[in-house]
Structure 1
C-alpha cells in the first residue's frame, strides 16, 4: 500500500515538473499603439534669438552723474528716466545764449533805424550812397548775428536736455556700467543697454541644398507663407508660432548659406536676446505617417527594428525611420502600418517568440 502511494506521489511531481518546463514563461511588457498622424514636412536649423531693438545708452554731453534712476534687469518704458547729469553748467549756457540773442535783436532794431534814416537822407540828396550802403550792410550783419545767436541758444537747450538720459525704446534694461558720482561723456562708452522683448527675431543660415529641397515640395517661395517653430536646448517646444519675414539678398561666400529671419511673439519673455535655439520650417502640406516613441527603436547590424506583440508573443518588425515628431516620437516611413502594439518597456527581457503580457503605457505628450 505504501509503495503504491509513493508511486502516485512521484508521478504527480514528475507531471508537475514536466508541465512547468513545457509551459512558456511570460514576460510583462509595456506597449504603445503605433499611431497614424498628419505630419508636415519640415526643415530643421540652428538659429539665434535677436531683439528687434537693441540700444546702447550713451552720454551725449560731459558732466557729473547725479543719479541712476532704474533697477537693473527691469522692463522700462520708452521715455522713462534712466540717468541724470548735473544741470548747472548747461543751464548757465542756456542763459548766456539767451542774453546774446537778446543783445543781437536789440542791435537789429538799431540797424533797421539807421538804415531807414540813411535811405531817407540819400533820397533827399543829403546823405551819400556810401553811408546808405554801410547802413544796409550793418542791418544784414545784425540779421545774421541773430541767426547765429538763435542757433547757439538752440544748441544750449539741446545740451541741457541731454542731461536727462531717457529710454529711447521699451524693453529690458541691463546692468549699469557707471554709478552715481562719476563723470560721464560721449567717450565713456555704453552706460547700459536696452533690448526690446516682444516680438523677437530668430536668424538662421540656410544652405543652398536646403533651398532646393524646399523648392522640390512644389511650394512657392513666398516668405510670408512659411511658418516656423522653435525648440530650446532641452528640446522643449516654444508655445508660439513664428513667420519668416526676411531672406537675405546675398549668399555668404564662405559658408554658401543665406541668412533667413523669422519673427516670433514673446509675450512671456521666454525668448532672450542671443539665445541659441532649434528652428523648424514647415514645408508643404501635412502627410499622414505612422508615429511611435523613439524609446521603442533598437539597432543592430542589419538596421533598425522594433518589437511588437503578435498573438501574445514578441515579434520583430524591421522599420525605416523618418524625422523626429516632437522631441520623443519618431516617424516610421516603412515597416509599420499603424495600430500595432509596439513594446516600449521591458525590452531587455524580450526575445523573438517570447510570450508577453502587454500592458498599455501612457504615451508621452507629442510636442510637435
Structure 2
C-alpha cells in the first residue's frame, strides 16, 4: 500500500515539474513582420492654360416672332396647303376655307351695287333736268327739292351697297389663310373637313427661325461678375454672348444682347435679358434649354485639373495632392468653370502640383504613397 502511494506522488510531481522546465527553456525566435508597401495612386500634374474667364446663365431659346393662325370666318376647312414642320414665307397659302357661300355673297353684293348705281344715275339725271327748268322758271322749286332729295337718297343707297360689296370681298379673302411672317410652321390642329370659326382656336403656329432669341435671367450678383470680367463701365446691352448646347458643344454663332427688361423679378432678384443669334440652319428651336456664356475679352492663365480629382465635403471643395515627400496632403480649392474634361481652379493650386485622380478612397492625409503620374487625357 505504501509503495502505491509513493508511486502516485512521484507521478504528480513529475507532471507539475514539466511546465516549469518548458518555461525555463530559451524561446524560439519569431520571423519579423514584413511592412506593407505604400498604396499606389495615379496623379496628374496641374497645368496652367490660357482661358477666358466666363459667367454662365441658364436660358431658353425664344422665337422673336410667333403667330397662332386662326380662322376669321365660319366654314368648313377645304384645303391644307403646307407640310407640317416646313419653312414658310410671308404670303404663302396655308389653309383654304370653303369659298362657295362667300363667293355667292360677293356676287349678290355686286348686283346690289349695280342696282344702286342705276338708281343713282337716274336720280342724277332728274336732278340736272329740274335744275335747268328752275333756272328757266319752267318748274317749281319744290320739284327741284324733291329731285335733290331723291338723288341724295340714291347716293346713300349706292354707298351702302358698295360698302356691303367691300365687306363681302373681305370675307371672301378670309377664306384663304396665308403666312403673316417668315418662319417654320408646326402641326395642324384641325383636319381638312372640320368646321372652323373664330372660336375654334389655333389652327397652326408659325415661329420665326432666323434670327432667334435666347432669354436668360441675370441676378445682381451675376451682373457684378460680368462687370468684373468686362470692366466697371460695362452694361448688359454691350455684351457678346455664346451658347453651350451640352457635352462641351458650343454653338458656332455669337449673339448680341438686344433687350434688357425694365423690372426685376422680386422673387429671384434677377432681370431678364435677351440675346439675338443668327440661326440659318435652324439648329436653335423655340423652347430649347441652353447655357448662355459671357466671356472676358482677354485670356488669363488658369489652373486646370481633371474633374475626377475634385472632391467635396462639408467644408467645400478640395483635392488630394502628393508633396515632395510622397505624402498625401489636403488642399482646399475654389473651382471655376468646367473646361472640356477638366475644371478650372480659381484658387488653392499652383502649376505643377500633383493631384490624385485614382486611388483617392484608399489613402488618408499624411500617408506615404507610391504615385504614378499619368497624362490628363489618361
Task: Select the structure of larger CA radius of gyration.
Answer: 2
Judge conservation of contact 1:114–1:135 (CA < 8 Å) in 2. Answer: yes
* 1:62 to partner: Cα distance: 0.7
Distance 1:231 1:25, change over 3 A: same
Distance 1:359 1:212, change over 3 A: closer
What is residue 257 of structure 1 aligned with on the other side?
270
* 1:163 to partner: Cα distance: 1.2
Confirm whether residue 165 of structure 1 aligns to residue 180 of structure 2: no
Rounded Cα–Cα distance in structure 1 between residues aligned with 2:263 and 2:46? 48
* 1:283 to partner: Cα distance: 5.8
Confirm whether residue 31 of structure 1 aligns to residue 44 of structure 2: yes
What is residue 136 of structure 2 aligned with on the other side?
124
Cα deviation digits, residues 267-306 of structure 1 (max 9, x gap):
3333222233333334675443222222211345665433
Rounded Cα–Cα distance in structure 1 between residues aligned with 2:210 and 2:218? 25
Aligned-partner SS, 1:360: coil
Within 5 A, what are the aligned runs for 1:302-317? 304-308=317-321, 313=326, 315-316=328-329
What is residue 56 of structure 1 aligned with on the other side?
68
What is residue 331 of structure 2 aligned with on the other side?
318
Rounded Cα–Cα distance in structure 2 between residues aligned with 1:295 and 1:57? 51
Judge conservation of contact 1:228–1:242 (CA < 8 Å) in 2. Answer: yes
Rounded Cα–Cα distance in structure 2 between residues aligned with 1:138 and 1:301? 97
Confirm whether residue 230 of structure 1 aligns to residue 247 of structure 2: no
Cα deviation digits, residues 301-352 of structure 1 (max 9, x gap):
6654334566694653614224213364322223333244544345456665
Unmatched 5+ stretches in structure 2: 1-30
Aligned-partner SS, 1:91: helix
Match of 1:191 among 193, 203, 207: 203
Confirm whether residue 153 of structure 1 aligns to residue 168 of structure 2: no
What is residue 153 of structure 2 aligned with on the other side?
141
Judge conservation of contact 2:52–2:295 (CA < 8 Å) in 1. Answer: no
Match of 1:270 among 283, 290, 307: 283
Judge conservation of contact 1:55–1:194 (CA < 8 Å) in 2. Answer: yes
* 1:255 to partner: Cα distance: 4.0
What is residue 6 of structure 1 aligned with on the other side?
none
What is residue 368 of structure 2 aligned with on the other side?
353
- TM-score under structure 2 length normalisation: 0.79
Distance 1:137 1:328, change over 3 A: farther
Rounded Cα–Cα distance in structure 2 between residues aligned with 1:251 and 1:306? 39
What is residue 14 of structure 1 aligned with on the other side?
none
Confirm whether residue 109 of structure 1 aligns to residue 109 of structure 2: no
Match of 2:213 among 182, 201, 209: 201
Cα deviation digits, residues 145-174 of structure 1 (max 9, x gap):
333222222221221121122222222222
CA RMSD of aligned residues (A): 3.2
Aligned-partner SS, 1:344: strand
* 1:50 to partner: Cα distance: 1.3
Aligned-partner SS, 1:84: strand
Judge conservation of contact 2:227–2:235 (CA < 8 Å) in 1. Answer: no
* 1:265 to partner: Cα distance: 2.4
Aligned-partner SS, 1:157: helix
- More moved, 98-107 vs 27-36: 27-36
- TM-score under structure 1 length normalisation: 0.80
Distance 1:250 1:36, change over 3 A: same
Q: How many residues align?
A: 345
Rounded Cα–Cα distance in structure 1 between residues aligned with 2:89 and 2:373? 59
Unmatched 5+ stretches in structure 1: 1-16, 364-368
